[in-house]
A and B are shown apart, each in its own frame.
Chain A
């Protein structure tokens, strides 16, 4: 019981449980059969650790990986110019900005659409493996990385918003028009599933596994 090496006491060791919704500390009492422990302050369910956290996170991150391939390989945008359609993937869009000399915008989209989803997926898998194999090092860094993954998750929606806006703003009849293409659906899926994976993960498991 407890973290023998450092002598630090955790809430679980002391029989205390934290309500993650309102941060109230409660004395843990075993709820009656079929009942849940509810927080007296905010009414949320309280658990020592988020239930089935690892299984749920794996399922969500694997779904994101599966969706990642069509999201990057299928066209994201369709541009009609003088009656002939031209399809472009996320990568084509980024290359366009770099070719035109817009290095800053190109980098922003490259980061939001390609680097962030890859970083999120690899980061979450790394953390799940770290728990599975009980790696005890870099715990503090891994916790910060998880915070960072939670923070940047939403920024990947950037390209989807741009295409939604272009679709309504660039509609000059036969001359030229822009609309979304099939990758948009898969890409939105990647963003949603990686965000859900980060939400369902309980970083306290990382510290438990190192005990």
Chain B
């Protein structure tokens, strides 16, 4: 057994700890662990610009998607409409605090924090700036990933529509379309994001193009 393995020339499978030689993959191909079949990495084409564009779109749609009414139900001449924010406020008023807080976190707070962090990370990498909080911001984004549940909420909206289809007349309001846009841009931004490439950029800190002062700035930052 070799005693000294260069850590920069190998990769370890996060699911089974198998030691593998680092191999490069073409964009939109993925490297799979031969022992446990876990996807190790999948480079993305033009990841930074695509992620940035989708994140900005998501942030623009965020407020209308959450605050504007999604649907209006009409029965026996009475109309009732509701937005995402109202859906958890209703639970809170009825005393279901834990459920209300979890719905609020998974459908609003965490998706917003995720978009905000991703915007900061992609902007910094795009402008070739590397503040101290950058790795922390990206780590937090990755850890929050599965706690944002917009797509589950979307299916929840569809189930609600089907459930009420016969009992009430349903209007689709502006918030509904904004929510679909928000969902698509959020899913798109995490699909376009190339985790390994982002971490490599934070480590190697490539310089801005056409900026002669950058070398000095970078030297200064390292202390």
Taking Cβ atoms with an 8 Å cutoff, the residues of A that contact B are 1-2, 8-18, 20-27, 41-44, 97, 102, 105, 108-109, 139-140, 143-144, 146-147, 150, 153-155, 157-158, 160-162, 164-173, 175-176, 179-180, 184-185, 188-189, 192, 195, 199, 203-204, 206-208
Given contacts A139-B36, A164-B90, contact A22 B75 (CB under 8 A): no
User: Least Cβ distance of B113 to chain A in Å?
Assistant: 16
Partner of B87, one of A11, A167, A185: A167
Which residues of chain B have C-beta atoms less than 8 A from A164's C-beta?
87-88, 90-91, 99, 103, 156
A2, closest chain B residue (CB) = B1
A195, closest chain B residue (CB) = B146
Give the bracket for the number of chain B residues in contact with chain A.
Answer: 35 or more
Whether B36 contacts A16 by the Cβ 8 Å rule is no
Taking Cβ atoms with an 8 Å cutoff, the residues of B that contact A are 1-2, 5, 7-8, 10-12, 14-19, 35-38, 41, 70-71, 73, 75-76, 78, 80-83, 86-91, 94, 96, 98-99, 102-103, 106-107, 135-136, 138-139, 142-143, 146-147, 149, 152-153, 155-157, 159-160, 162-164, 168, 195-196, 199, 202-203
Whether A16 contacts B7 by the Cβ 8 Å rule is yes
Which residues of chain B have C-beta atoms less than 8 A from A139's C-beta?
16, 36
Given contacts A140-B37, A164-B91, A168-B87, contact A12 B159 (CB under 8 A): no
Whether A185 contacts B99 by the Cβ 8 Å rule is yes
Whether A108 contacts B155 by the Cβ 8 Å rule is yes
Which residues of chain A have C-beta atoms less than 8 A from B203's C-beta?
24, 41
Given contacts A43-B136, A140-B37, contact A11 B102 (CB under 8 A): no
